[in-house]
Amino acid sequence: MTSETQLGRGGRYLVTRYGDESVRAYVPAPLPPDPPIVFLPLIRLWEEANQALGRLDALSALMPSVSLILYTYVRKEAVLSSQIEGTQSSLSDLLLDENADAVQEVSNYVRAFQFGLRRLRDGSPISNQLFREMHAILLPKGKGEFRRTQNRVGAFVPPPPDQVMECMGALETFLHTDRPDFPLLIKAGLAHVQFETIHPFLDGNGRIGRLIIPLLLCASGVLREPLLYLSLYFKQHRSTYYELLDRVRTEGDWESWLEFFLTGIRDTAGRAVTDAQRTIAMFEQDRQKIQALGRPAASVLRVFEHAQRSPILSIPNTAEKIGVSAPTVAKSLEHLRKLSIMRESTGRQRRRLFVYDAYLSILNEGTEPIR
């Protein structure tokens, strides 16, 4: 293996083997970039992104239903992130049955993220060990191991396997270095690209790489709750996303990437605030309709609260989850149907499914599978 081209901000190339081919594998330079990033043109955008995150964090502290909203937001992010990788499952598929084979990878994503968040809240740092543990949950067959063979992503060839540990070690050092000249959002943007470029696993790199962003925001205390996810933004602008990743590698153009990334943070945080406000207002409106029922209201409210967590539900599963009888659930769902809060979606007498349409409509925005 011999060195080729390009030292400096853009990294370097090494000649290696990929199957029977001789290829140029790209080894990124350690962070931070050198020459340093030109921050001045990014300051206004960075301030706007920080302000949007501040509004989102403040709203989360006031939300009466933050845990319920989080439950579905994390699942929406899992679907979107998995769709970017080619999985065709929809949010409805996941909400119907998280244990179904068709949505197993998406369910694993939810579990991997929840595991990572628990570890951070227990005091563990963001580290390569945490990435490996999360990857083992996301893709159990991979066993959470960094790759030992060469991989390829389209035309891009990540570092040779004997360079992966060194590259990931340098990334971990960067994540743990407290530098006032690297605000958190800049650090998150740099770390995401570096992880994607190293591509330390044989599969699942995109999903773990996207999870680094909310984990960093929560670990640093910028967000108390993980309400910000960029997968929808990356999905909607995926051609620009991939083009800018390539420009970092080929031209060392970190500034254009950070402009795109900070725009995504600002716009996504703003949208999350709007969606949360719409959701809270809808929950409260529907709650008032239910309270006007009088005596049945208590049982109906219990079913309604479960519907906020699971917008698609069945009578037996709901009875088991909330600890009431199936007939009580059935009567409550009939009240919700008459109030136009829930809709029976099967038209059958047995194995009926009920859908909280208005809530599912908000959640489904942007989750159409990529064709």
Look at residue 206 and tell me whether its pLDDT is greater than 50: yes
Weakest mean pLDDT among 33-37, 64-68, 112-116, 230-234 = 64-68
User: Is 66 domain-assigned?
Assistant: yes
CATH of the domain at 299: 1.10.10.10
214-231 confidence digits (pLDDT tens): 999 999 999 988 888 899
**For the chain, what percent of residues have pLDDT higher than 90?**
69
CATH of the domain at 47: 1.10.3290.10
Mean pLDDT of 244-262: 96
Residue 67 confidence (pLDDT) = 76
The answer to whether residues 205 and 91 belong to one domain is yes
The answer to whether residues 298 and 239 belong to one domain is no
Q: What angle do CA 95, 100, 104 make, to 5 degrees?
A: 90
Q: Name the domain boundary from 275, 308, 337.
A: 275
Sequence-separated (6 or more) residues with CB below 8 Å from residue 187: 174, 175, 216
The answer to whether residues 330 and 257 belong to one domain is no
For residues 142 and 201, what is the distance between their CA atoms, to the nearest angstrom? 8
The answer to whether residues 237 and 128 belong to one domain is yes
Look at residue 100 and tell me whether its pLDDT is greater than 90: no
Collapsed DSSP state (helix, strand, coil) of residue 353 = strand
Residue 5 confidence (pLDDT) = 55
User: Is 97 domain-assigned?
Assistant: yes
User: Is 6 domain-assigned?
Assistant: no
Best CA proximity match to 139, nearest among 216, 193, 85, 74: 85
Mean pLDDT of 280-306: 95
User: Is 115 domain-assigned?
Assistant: yes
User: Is 281 domain-assigned?
Assistant: no
Residue 329 confidence (pLDDT) = 97
Question: Highest mean pLDDT: which of 48-52, 93-97, 280-284?
Answer: 48-52
154-176 confidence digits (pLDDT tens): 999 999 999 999 999 999 999 99
The answer to whether residues 228 and 301 belong to one domain is no
List the alpha helices (DSSP H) in the chain.
43-62, 66-84, 91-96, 104-121, 128-138, 161-176, 184-198, 205-219, 231-236, 238-251, 254-291, 297-309, 315-322, 326-338, 357-364
Residue 350 confidence (pLDDT) = 84
CB 110 within 8 A of CB 226: no
Q: Name the domain boundary from 275, 309, 344.
A: 275
Residue 213 confidence (pLDDT) = 95
The answer to whether residues 145 and 204 belong to one domain is yes
Q: Name the domain boundary from 243, 275, 307.
A: 275
Residue 8 confidence (pLDDT) = 55
Cα→Cα distances 322→162, 216, 239, Å: 52, 34, 44
The total number of structural domains in the chain stands at 2
Look at residue 4 and tell me whether its pLDDT is greater than 60: no
Residue 2 confidence (pLDDT) = 47
Q: Residue 224: which domain range? A: 37-275
User: Is 181 domain-assigned?
Assistant: yes
CB 197 within 8 A of CB 128: no
Look at residue 190 and tell me whether its pLDDT is greater than 60: yes
Best CA proximity match to 141, nearest among 183, 93, 108: 108
306-341 confidence digits (pLDDT tens): 999 889 999 999 999 999 999 999 999 999 999 999
For residues 187 and 185, what is the distance between their CA atoms, to the nearest angstrom? 5
Cα→Cα distances 99→83, 93, 178, 203, Å: 18, 10, 41, 21
The answer to whether residues 49 and 131 belong to one domain is yes
DSSP at 64: T
Best CA proximity match to 312, nearest among 356, 350, 351, 363: 356
Mean pLDDT of 147-152: 94
Look at residue 6 and tell me whether its pLDDT is greater than 70: no
Mean pLDDT of 53-62: 89
The answer to whether residues 198 and 119 belong to one domain is yes
The answer to whether residues 339 and 228 belong to one domain is no
The chain-wide mean pLDDT, for the chain, equals 90
Weakest mean pLDDT among 44-58, 84-98, 112-126, 132-146 = 84-98
The answer to whether residues 185 and 303 belong to one domain is no
The answer to whether residues 218 and 358 belong to one domain is no
The answer to whether residues 312 and 213 belong to one domain is no
Look at residue 130 and tell me whether its pLDDT is greater than 90: yes
Sequence-separated (6 or more) residues with CB below 8 Å from residue 226: 70, 73, 74, 113, 117, 214, 215, 217, 218
User: Is 229 domain-assigned?
Assistant: yes
Is 91 or 334 the better-scoring residue by pLDDT?
A: 334
CB 100 within 8 A of CB 127: no
User: Is 30 domain-assigned?
Assistant: no
